[in-house]
């Protein structure tokens, strides 16, 4: 069981830093809107990860997902990333220097922002599929309590991810008093272009996959 926990810690550390656009969004939100807003966004991110894990582990047994459906979901993800990226480019920069807690409605909005940015991102889905493939290989049916070990591993990953995202939000919030509005404006531009580039790369992969996987007679 200890090995499953250590595997979860390792993957959790890796995943929290390879989701580039989401990383920028979390830091930016924490700087602009404070710690509580950053935590709400982090909760949305970890909720989408939990949905991914559940869907991959159990959904394939209940629902047959066609390649066309995957492509359509990917296109929706591209549109969301592109829209948020363009919004960041033209968004008026401001910093909430007061340590006020966002209203419940605003926290809910940040939650869904984090959730939607991840749930329609096939790149994050690919990361989870890779990890699940690893877990299924290491903890195969011949291993005692393999289902429990897989569950412990993924629970550890989610806990580590949320914990690290909370730490990032905490320290980004601490930097708030030292950052100028002009710096936040530059951060918005960087985050915006990161999201736009991610959407273009994702769309290119979808188109390339669609072209090369299409039947020869099509």
Q: What is the pLDDT along the chain (218 residues), one digit of tens a residue?
A: 777 777 777 777 766 665 656 777 787 788 777 888 888 998 998 898 888 888 777 765 544 555 666 666 667 767 777 887 787 788 776 655 565 667 778 888 889 888 887 777 766 777 777 777 677 667 666 667 767 777 788 888 888 888 888 888 888 877 776 766 777 677 778 777 877 887 787 777 767 755 555 554 44
Beta carbons of 136 and 67 less than 8 angstroms apart = no
Q: The whole model's pTM is what?
A: 0.64
Question: Which residues in 174-202 are b (16+ Cβ under 10 Å) and which e?
Answer: eebeeeeeeebeebbeebbebbbebbeeb
Residues 6+ apart with CB under 8 A from 22: 45, 114, 117, 118, 121, 124
């Amino acid at each position: 069981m200890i090995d499953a926990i250590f595997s979860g810690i390792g993957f959790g550390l890796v995943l929290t830093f390879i989701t580039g656009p989401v990383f920028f969004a979390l830091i930016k939100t924490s700087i602009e809107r404070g710690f509580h807003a950053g935590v709400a966004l982090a909760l949305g991110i970890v909720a989408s990860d939990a949905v991914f894990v559940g869907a991959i582990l159990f959904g394939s047994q209940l629902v047959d997902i066609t390649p066309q459906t995957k492509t359509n979901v990917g296109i929706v993800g591209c549109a969301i990333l592109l829209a948020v990226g363009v919004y960041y480019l033209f968004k008026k920069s401001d910093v909430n220097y007061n340590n006020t807690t966002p209203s419940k409605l605003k926290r809910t909005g940040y939650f869904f922002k984090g959730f939607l940015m991840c749930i329609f991102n096939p790149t994050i889905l690919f990361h989870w599929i890779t990890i699940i493939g690893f877990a299924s290989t290491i903890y195969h049916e011949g291993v005692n309590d393999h289902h429990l070990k897989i569950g412990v591993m993924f629970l550890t990953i989610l806990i580590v991810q949320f914990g690290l995202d909370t730490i990032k939000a905490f320290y980004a919030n601490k930097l708030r008093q030292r950052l100028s509005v002009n710096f936040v404006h530059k951060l918005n531009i960087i985050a915006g272009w990161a999201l736009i580039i991610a959407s273009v790369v994702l769309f290119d992969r979808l188109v390339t996959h669609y072209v090369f996987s299409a039947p020869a007679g099509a």
